[in-house]
Amino acid sequence: MNRLIASDGVELCYRIRRSGDGPSPAVLLIHGAASNHTRWAEFARRTELGKGFDLILPDMRGNARSMCRGRLDLGVWCEDLVTILDAESYDSVIVVGHSLGAQIALHLAVTHPRRVRALALIDPVVRQALTGRPKRMRRLEPLVRLAILILRMLNGLGLRRHQFPLMDLEKLDAETREIMRGGHPREALVQRYSAMGLIREHMPIANYLQQLVASISPLPKLECIAVPALVLESTGAELMDRARSSAQFARLQASELVEIDATHWPLTERPDEVRRAIENWIERLEPAA
């Protein structure tokens, strides 16, 4: 595990799977909310990309081994990623993000366009297209922000846990797939990965709420993103109106849409399908690059 200290003193941790001894192009893999670098462990272990690309797997600030308390938002996470890229001497990278990770990837492409070579977005969240429970949370966002403020104040007074075990998502995925072999597999998946008990065990609630707020934040100006973009959209997800979300990503200058028969966790449900889609897309990019 690589470690470095950000300008504000927070320790940032990340793994790099290098393709060889010399410098190589890189793929940056950004996990979503209440997650960590092990979200990509199976992908990194099985992908053919490791033969030609370095794979960068960060624990984003506020999660796992980059655990901290305090302000978490898209701007902070983007600066953390630039710090990692600078430390490892990567000028520009292909960025892959899932859910909140896709939001971070989009903002990184707008705020630091020179550092992003291409984008692969897995189930990016579109604020205007939210439905059901996420839409209700959007309406309650002022109350959620107030709760975050109160929790951070209590944490500052010393009312907080100090240790959180690492969530091994590769192991959790394997266990979940076994459970899904029974009846109602998708309901079992959603209940397992949305359980607040599981989330509270592994991270501060204030951190999780800040990540949820960031997940449903407005998209940046997509017309400003000129790099190639792949959008992987789960057809079984009930978080968004797919017609509205697809219309938003049509604003990207060079985008390709691939549909995956999954809910909001395609890396758990369809890992091989997601992996092949990203591999094939990057393979097509390389001759042009």
Q: What is the CATH number of the domain that holds 134?
A: 3.40.50.1820
For the chain, the farthest-separated pair of C-alpha atoms sits apart, in whole angstroms, at 56
Task: List Cα–Cα distances, 26 to 52, 62, 85, 147, 148, in angstroms.
Answer: 9, 24, 10, 39, 35
Mean pLDDT by 10 residues, the chain (289 residues): 96 95 90 97 96 96 96 98 97 97 98 98 94 87 96 92 93 91 79 88 96 96 95 89 91 92 93 97 75
What is residue 187's predicted lDDT score, i.e. its pLDDT? 81
Q: Which of 152, 164, 175 is nearest to 200 (CA)?
A: 164
Domain that holds residue 158: 2-288
Radius of gyration of the chain (CA): 18
Beta bridge pairs of residue 94 = 27, 118
Residue 199: count of CB within 10 angstroms of its CB: 19
Domain count, the chain: 1
d(CA 176, CA 188): 8
Number of helices (H), then strands (E), belonging to the chain: the values are 12, 8
Q: What is the DSSP letter of 148?
A: H
**Cβ(180)–Cβ(189) below 8 Å:** yes
Q: What residue has token string 């209440």? A: 34
**Cβ(104)–Cβ(81) below 8 Å:** yes
